[in-house]
Amino acid sequence: MDLINNTAAIRTPFNCTVEIGYRFTYFQISYSLIFICGLTSNGMALWRLWLMPWTLTSTAVYMANLAVVDLFFILSLPLRIYYYYNRSQSMAWSPGSVFCVLTFALKYISMYGGIFFLACIGLDRYFAVTRPVLRRPKQAHNACMLSTAIWLLVLALSLALPFMHSAASNSQYTCLLDPSLGPHRTFILGALGLILVAFLLPAFLLLFSYCRVLRVLGRMPHRGKGRHRRTLTLIYSVLGIFLLCFAPYHTNLLCYTLTHVGTVPSCGLAKFASALHPVMLSLASANCCLNPLVYYYSSSLLHKVTASRQSSQETNTSFNSKRKHPISKVLP
């Protein structure tokens, strides 16, 4: 949620003035760095995946969707940089409603699409360890169905928030502002509730998967644990991205919103959360630079699955050939 005003300061309902003018320059710099880093890292990761032979699995489905989500956000960054540049140069510039809805939607598609697909990768690894007998074609089919449902959910959330914003605000200068004062309090709290649920549900599923995988691996002999080393590394990377990028942002967002709507009348907390907000938002946005780590470990798993299948097919072909020509065993 971008609680960004178009003046140098905002005043909370309990008469606390919070300075925010520095954010225009800060976001120009941070988003430019994220754009360069994200475009480079994702381009290299996708090129590596393109060159590597792999088969359709549930991991491949989730990984491809995560890559698309990252590209959505990376392509939206120039729009945001352009917006903040113009706001820092001229306070009278207004980008128009289409621009505002587009930037809002692309941000939430990226952030919460990424959260859901990261959680799906964690759940996928959980089933790979605890239910290895499941048929892979069925897993891939279920992954496609679940990915479709996630896209519909994320699109609904991403479009609902801009419409809630436009319904709550009549000002033409609040493009990246979620109204936080006076009669708009109900809209903001409703949007906050949607956002927190969209984060907490995948986070709970990911933590559940992580704990269950550790429990199952703890019961395995040392030799069995070695086979799942890549799976454990992948789960570590997914959980690390969650804890580094998304957990701090949503924790600060809760404090930031509740103080700005007047639910928690603390001027000190309002200033502290306001100062942290652009940093936490940039950190959450930087997940598109870290997701290539997930592509790397996922591609290792895909390569392992493909090699295993090819080896199995070669073994079966050799076995069938020997069954068809058993006399070859006795001929000189």
The more confident residue out of 34 and 90 is 34
Compute the distance between CA of residue 248 and CA of residue 243 in angstroms, rounded to an integer: 7
- Give percent of the chain above pLDDT 70: 69
Instruction: Give the pLDDT of residue 222.
Output: 60
Residue from 205, 208, 222 nearest 117 by CA: 205
For residue 197, is pLDDT > 80? yes
Rounded distance between C-alpha atoms, residue 260 and residue 111, angstroms = 23
Percent of the chain with pLDDT over 90: 13
Report residue 182's pLDDT band, with 50, 70 and 90 as the boundaries: very low
C-alpha distances in Å from residue 249, one per residue of 206, 217, 266: 17, 32, 20
Whether 174 is covered by a domain: the verdict is yes
Q: In the prediction, which pLDDT does 22 show?
A: 78
Taking 90 as the threshold, does the pLDDT of residue 303 lie above it?
no
pLDDT for 16:
75
Q: Token pair 């971008």 is at which residue?
A: 2
For the segment 251-257, the average pLDDT, to the nearest whole number, is 89
pLDDT at 172 over 50: no
Question: For position 2, what pLDDT does the model report?
Answer: 47
Has residue 325 got a pLDDT over 60? no
* Arithmetic mean of pLDDT, 207-224: 76
Of residues 204 and 87, the one with the higher pLDDT is: 204
Structure tokens at 146: 């679940």
Q: Give me the pLDDT at residue 235, please.
A: 80
pLDDT for res 329: 39
Residue 115 within any structural domain of the chain:
yes
Q: Give residue 86's pLDDT.
A: 79
Does the residue 317 lie in any domain?
no
Phi, psi for 17 (deg, rounded to 5): -90, 125
pLDDT, tens digit, 9 for 90 and up, residues 227-253: 567 777 778 888 888 889 999 999 998
pTM of the predicted model as reported, rounded to 2 decimal places:
0.79
For the stretch 15-39, pLDDT in tens is 777 777 778 889 999 999 999 999 9
How confident is the model at residue 164, as a pLDDT? 55
CB 129, CB 217: distance < 8 Å: yes
The residue segments making up the domain with residue 54 are 9-300
**pLDDT at 33 (0 to 100):** 95
pLDDT confidence of 10, banded at 50, 70, 90? low
Q: Which residue has the higher pLDDT, 46 or 314?
A: 46
Residue 274 parent element (H or E): helix 267-285
Tell which residue, 249, 39, 59, 78, has the closest CA to residue 142.
Answer: 59
For the ranges 44-48, 94-98, 131-135, 203-207, which has the lowest average pLDDT?
A: 131-135
What's the total number of domains in the chain? 1
Whether 156 is in a domain gets the answer yes
Please state which of the ranges 3-12, 47-56, 190-199 shows the lowest mean pLDDT: 3-12
Kindly report the average pLDDT of the chain as a whole number. 75
CATH of the domain at 291: 1.20.1070.10
Domain assignment present for 181: yes
pLDDT computed for residue 208 by the predictor: 87
More confident residue, 18 or 92: 18
Write down the residue that tokens 């007998």 correspond to: 133
236 Cβ contact list (under 8 Å, min separation 6) = none
Residue 136: predicted pLDDT: 61
Q: Is residue 107 part of a domain?
A: yes
Question: Is residue 305 a part of any domain in this protein?
Answer: no
User: Does a structural domain hold residue 39?
Assistant: yes
pLDDT for the residue numbered 200: 92
The pLDDT score that the predictor gives to residue 284 is 92
Top-confidence residue, 330 or 84:
84
How many Å apart are CA 100 and CA 301, to the nearest integer? 40
Phi, psi (degrees; rounded to nearest 5) at 9 = -155, 155
* Region 112-127 average pLDDT: 88
Whether the pLDDT of residue 129 is over 90: the answer is no
Q: What is the average pLDDT across 147-161?
A: 85
CA distances from 217 to 135, 235, 304 (A): 21, 13, 19
Q: What is the mean pLDDT of residues 213-223?
A: 72
Three-state DSSP at 2 gives: coil
